[in-house]
Structure 1
């Protein structure tokens, strides 16, 4: 008679996500996750092949959550595409503040993550749609990449405490997203 499963993949991934935020990437180990879900480490290998696969699953879940946060942002369904882009930027920033380590993981340069293409497409859909409205279909991907690069750069600097000249960082964020929305919209009229 086979031994009953004592944990699910969803529980393993959620434990990994919690450990990632609490202990950083170095603390995200198979042993730590096993302890967290109440099984011995070898039991995890029935569900997850190795630590790299675990990290990829955690990153993929994070990517899906970020996409859901963007979609659920207040004004994200507003008729004005500039207002929607601003709402999406605020949602990205709020998400990064809630899950800073996971945010860094999914945007880490050179990360060897093999993220699920469906999750990537799903998490990008709203940004691509509003980019197409602002910049036109021909420039939608370029505009979405510009938005993502700006948001990631600003938020990453903020998380790192890199804005050291004083002033109001919230005001700077709003200034930036206003100018970015204007620039993306202007590119669609050329």
Structure 2
């Protein structure tokens, strides 16, 4: 068995992510990770404080990976096209890592949530596209609307909750078109 010094934190987090995806959050235990990386469970505590800290590391790494995937969407000069590419990248990530995706959007305890810094970095591509579409003064609101729509759609899709038939790919594209139109429409007058 490898000694704890030969088991890196990156290996521990990767093993935990694999267990999360294959077996679910309830089976993501220090013992299961230790077995996966080839050490005894007490040895993990030299690298990770406890299970909550392990879950937080998994959530942070997942958020970072999502942010990298979203950042890979290059600016085309057409904000509507960029929003569509961003939405498709978001959806593809969720399908490739469904348990990790659900973890980062779950209402977990503070100890298991990703840091604000990680979330801020991952949000940068959505904020950029939102600012391009809706204007800098509405970037945060537009990015939140985009994220809420995309997360709602993808969460329902992963849960098998679309039961009325129809083509989900077409529905997703319809949503992109409608969001783009909403973000670029003139601002309606406010009711005072």
Distance in 2, Cα, partners of 1:122 & 1:188: 28
Kindly tell me the number of residue pairs found equivalent between the two proteins: 186
Unaligned runs of 5+ in 1: none
Query: Match of 1:129?
Result: 128
Shift of 1:6: 2.2
Alignment check: 8 A CA contact 2:4 2:39 kept: no
Unaligned runs of 5+ in 2: none
Mean Cα deviation higher: 50-59 or 76-85:
76-85
Query: Match of 2:87?
Result: 89
Residues 1:106 and 1:187: Cα distance change in structure 2 (over 3 Å): farther
Query: Match of 1:59?
Result: 59
Shift of 1:26: 0.5
Query: Match of 2:178?
Result: 179
Shift of 1:72: 1.8
Whether 2:110 is the aligned partner of 1:105: answer: no
Query: Match of 1:12?
Result: 12
Secondary structure at the counterpart of residue 5 of structure 1: helix
Query: Match of 1:26?
Result: 26
Distance in 2, Cα, partners of 1:29 & 1:21: 13
Whether 2:143 is the aligned partner of 1:148: answer: no
Q: TM-score, normalised by structure 1?
A: 0.93
Q: TM-score, normalised by structure 2?
A: 0.92
Shift of 1:136: 1.2
Query: Match of 1:118?
Result: 117
- Give the aligned CA root-mean-square deviation in angstroms: 1.6
Shift of 1:110: 4.7
Secondary structure at the counterpart of residue 183 of structure 1: helix
- Any idea what the Cα deviations from partners look like across 1:47-78, whole Å, max 9, x if unmatched? 100000000000000000011111224xx321
**Structure 1 runs of 4+ off > 6 angstroms?**
none
Query: Match of 2:48?
Result: 48
Distance in 1, Cα, partners of 2:17 & 2:130: 30
Distance in 1, Cα, partners of 2:62 & 2:185: 32
